[in-house]
Structure 1
Amino acid sequence: MKKWIFVSLVFIMPFLMTGCVEKTGYYTKAEDDVISLICGVTWASQKIVNDAEETIQGLYKFRNDGTCTQTSIVTDKNGKEQRRDVNVRWAFYDQNSSTIYFGSDHYWDIEELTTKKFAIYDRWGEYGEINMSREYKEFTPLE
């Protein structure tokens, strides 16, 4: 009986272990091209002014290790600036590297990506869900 269990485990364990292995690298030129455009650049949103006359801007710094720092900069009408950093994880959601997943049903659907422009649809929720929302946003490299 013990021999049967041992033999079963020898054959079953490699199968189970391969099901748990994540992709540890980016293997195609297309994926490498997308990553090289996204990472190593601080992407800045357009500045907007809210009803309280505060200027708000978002900065996004993606890194190759799957982390991203999102910085929110709020400047009041007197010029006083407040910054808040949030560190998040990111990964590609699809095989085409055209959607970034941040977790908690938060996605960026990439519309256009060049060295000068990062255009996305900021999406909350899955397609087909009644409460899904999408908002178009453009980012440019911070200079």
Structure 2
Amino acid sequence: MRFHTRKWVKPEDLNPNSTLFGGRLLAWIDEEVALYAIIQLETPRVVTKHMSEINFRSSAKQGDIIEIGIDVVKFGTTSLTLMCEVRNMMTRETIITIDVITMVGVDENGKPRAHGKTKVEYVSDRLNKKD
């Protein structure tokens, strides 16, 4: 699992129980996987097609720092399937796991668009490409 982003839990991120609001965490995850898919598929148009069961295992409180981790499960013709884990850096506990997140590249009309990708590319791979 590659952990790409850290977030600091601030007062505006809390629910009435004074723990991290689940909706805020899901928004952070959705944004992070969208950015990851945009970079991997090399298209500015990506939509969230599916998220599997969301399993909240622990929480975070104000001042905690969380990390969002993403791994690629597979490349489809128009999609990229990912998995996600979020962990609390202060308690070392996993906060949430999502086994399947499907992101789809779309054209200007919102229709799925083939991307031609088959594997994860890193910055070094792209810098070494011969065009």
TM-score by length of 1: 0.30
Give the structure with higher Rg (CA).
1
TM-score by length of 2: 0.32
